[in-house]
Amino acid sequence: MKTELGQSPAPCKHAAAAARHNDQAPAAMQSSAVPRLMRVSEVERECEPTSTLAGMLKWVREFIGAPHPNLGRSGSICPFVPGALNMDTIWISEVADAEPTVDSISEIIKEYRNVFLATEPTKSPDSINKAFLVAFPTLTARGAEGAALVDKVQYRLKPYFVDQGMMLGEFHSMNDSPGLRNPDFRPLRSPVPMLAIRLMVESDLPFMTRDLYAPAERAAFLRSYLYRLGGSLKPSKFNEALEKLIVAEVAMRTVPAEASEAAVEPA
């Protein structure tokens, strides 16, 4: 899905409706104050091909859920997406607020976090295929400013997702985060700014140790990673995480306390 700078995709006319309380809707406690989460099958059935949600689904199928010559390995960019599409365990929503802010987006994402935890499937192994994608199409026209807004929310809320064994990913057209196997590949670029919610997996270790995080943040992420996944990790991955945790904790002793604290507020 492509959009010209200064334009946003057409909204899906069904997306603003509150989630319906039936077996196709995510957890019944979803607040009517947040946009409806729609399964992939619902997007296919109810949304026009030119809508934001249909465009997101096309991106999921043709980019994230597909192989790429620059990925650096075989298989799809996200190995869980093909299975999730088959299981219909990807939910998509769009926030049509004309002027979203860091605070307003944060509140919406915190609400979706709670819904995610209660939405089936909640137990392994099927739960690993569950994901929420939340798009902010009105940020498309704001270019770098809109992308930065998504990044700020992701940085602010990541500690509270990781603490519960979850990941919050930031996607937009200007995301320069490199691929894990090819530093010249940009797997987190999307046509519409969005945030993605999913469960933590073993391969998330590099996302816990990025240079942009202070030692205290890295240590907190790594402790959660080991606590949530320790029993299922390969010995080599467990040892690598433990070594990085020791490095982070040693580094905490060499930096001022105020510089090692996360610049976030409790959820």
Please state the three-class secondary structure of 141-187 as a single string: HHHHHHHHHHHHHHHHHHHHHHCCCEEEEEECCCCCCCCCCCCCCCC
Alpha carbon distance 254, 133 (integer Å): 39
pLDDT at 218: 96
Q: Which amino acid, residue 58?
A: K
Per-10-residue mean pLDDT of the chain, 267 residues long, equals 46 54 49 83 95 95 95 94 95 94 96 94 90 96 96 97 96 94 94 97 94 94 96 95 96 70 45
Beta bridge partners of 51: 10
Indicate the burial class of 5 (C-beta count within 10 angstroms; 0-12, 13-18, 19 or more). Answer: exposed
